[in-house]
Amino acid sequence: MNVTDWLSALHHEAQNRAYIGRLIVLDYSVSLLKVRLYITADLFVQVYRNDRFDTTNLVLMHNEQRLYARDQLAGAWHRHTPAAPESHDTGAEGRRPVSLGEFLDEVEDVLAALGLP
C-alpha cells in the first residue's frame, strides 16, 4: 500500500472503531505519511509510512512509552511485544506482515490485557 492507500484505510478504521476519538495527520506528502489515532490524550496509535524507503511503523504509545509495535524496514517486518517493547521479535509471528486493521485488532487485545480504555 502507498501513502494514499494508508490514509484512506486510516480514515476508514477511525470511523469504524468507537474507541478512536480523533485522527490527526502530522505529515503528508507524495511519499510520506505520519498520522496519530488518539484514544485518549496520552494513549494513541501512530502510523508512519515512507514509500520511498518502503518503511512502515505502527506503534501503540501510552505516556510517551511504546507498548506495542510492528515495523517494516525495506520490506522486512518485526514486532515489539508488550512483554518486551524495546526488543525486536523476528520470529515467524514477528516477521508476519499485517494490515492496519489487523494491527488495530492486536492493539485492542493489548489494551484489554493492560486494562486501558
Amino acid at site 4: T
Query: Which residues are 68's β-sheet partners?
Result: 60
Bin 63: left if φ > 0, else alpha if -120 < ψ < 50, else beta. Answer: left
Q: How confident is the model at residue 75 (pLDDT cuts 50, 70, 90)?
A: confident
Q: How confident is the model at residue 74 (pLDDT cuts 50, 70, 90)?
A: confident
- What pTM did the predictor assign? 0.95
- The answer to whether residue 95 scores a pLDDT higher than 90 is yes
| SS3 state of residue 18 | coil
Per-residue confidence (pLDDT) for residue 12, from 0 to 100: 97
For residues 30-36, average pLDDT: 98
For residues 65-79, average pLDDT: 96
Q: Give the whole-angstrom CA distance, residue 115 versus residue 23.
A: 23
How do the domains of the chain map onto residue ranges? 3-114
- Whether 50 and 66 have beta carbons less than 8 Å apart is answered as no
